[in-house]
Homo-oligomer: A and B are copies of this chain.
């Protein structure tokens, strides 16, 4: 069923039909005629043909590193809520942590197919930058800061600083750190710097053998905690870059009779569901992931309306959720 056939059935011209679907001039009787015919035939215009004319796809490309990560999923949740309300649909690309697929996806999106792109970024290479510069459609980056581009990010440094300070103020004197790769400027570099600054600002020593770099999962946290806690000097608190790492570390402690928080305090960033269910419950920084997704979508919508080429950085602050792993007796929620 195409527009001509349908127009014949409805008893109007093709243009009238087109106008009906595009908010053009139309008298009420024609409108009624068309509505009746739609009810009868179920006709709906081909979005492909439409796009090929006016170059509007009503599609937004979303590139993510790993869907089955809680934080990613929350961001996409927020994006889909806002964009859905504006009649946009999401073209989702899951790179499965393969950095090079971000490039190929961006290139795929560059030529056509989407009106805009939201990129949940982890690590930027020079290639990323050059491809991003060539994009013809607006792009919003989530989770990282990149000068000259629209970004929505979190206060990684601040959260790490606040959490570490909290543990020191509660009496910790030998703070340790389990982080992730410094190539990740947000979760890796900024959180590490926040930790280090807090240690220094409180006049404590920064022991290099109290710094570990883990992968993003529990097993790796477990392993690094073992390494950290097997030396002759034992730390009395650990700040972990992610909840999974912290949970792995807590499991190691439990297995080895090290009491949390009595012998060692542990906390991290992310506020994943796991941290509420664990025992002890986990002190963590809540990042407003869903909100950042919503705000990124709003930023993109703005660009779609009138793109002024000015890069905007929006940084969302964190909430500290104090729970048992740093000594709060009991205050879940």
Residues of A at under 8 Å CB distance from B?
A: 42-49, 51-52, 55, 57, 59, 62, 66-70, 73-74, 76-77, 80-81, 84, 89-94, 96, 108, 110-113, 134, 218, 244, 247, 250-251, 254, 273-274, 276-279, 290, 332
Q: Is the CB of A112 within 8 A of B279?
A: no
A-B contact pairs, 14 of them (CB 8 A): A44-B108, A67-B80, A68-B70, A73-B73, A80-B92, A80-B93, A80-B94, A92-B92, A218-B277, A251-B332, A254-B279, A273-B274, A277-B277, A278-B278
Partner of A277 from B45, B81, B111, B247 at Cβ < 8 Å: B247
Cα distance A145–B125 in the bound complex, in angstroms: 46
Q: Is the CB of A113 within 8 A of B47?
A: yes
Cα distance A70–B273 in the bound complex, in angstroms: 10
Q: Is the CB of A77 within 8 A of B67?
A: yes
Cα distance A89–B101 in the bound complex, in angstroms: 13
Q: Is the CB of A73 within 8 A of B80?
A: no
Copies in the complex: 2
Q: Is the CB of A94 within 8 A of B77?
A: yes
Shortest CB–CB separation between residue A306 and chain B, in angstroms? 23
Cα distance A62–B91 in the bound complex, in angstroms: 10
Cα distance A55–B66 in the bound complex, in angstroms: 31
Q: A47-B113, A73-B73, A277-B247 are in contact. Are A91 and B94 (CB under 8 A)?
A: no
For residue A279, which residues in chain B have a CB less than 8 angstroms away from its CB? 254, 278-279
Closest 8 pairs between A and B when the two form their complex, measured CB to CB: A279-B279, A48-B51, A44-B111, A80-B94, A49-B52, A68-B73, A48-B52, A247-B277
For residue A111, which residues in chain B have a CB less than 8 angstroms away from its CB? 42-46
Cα distance A290–B66 in the bound complex, in angstroms: 13
- CB nearest neighbor in B for A61: B89
Q: Is the CB of B90 within 8 A of A91?
A: yes
- CB nearest neighbor in B for A74: B68
Cα distance A247–B91 in the bound complex, in angstroms: 34
Cα distance A74–B47 in the bound complex, in angstroms: 30
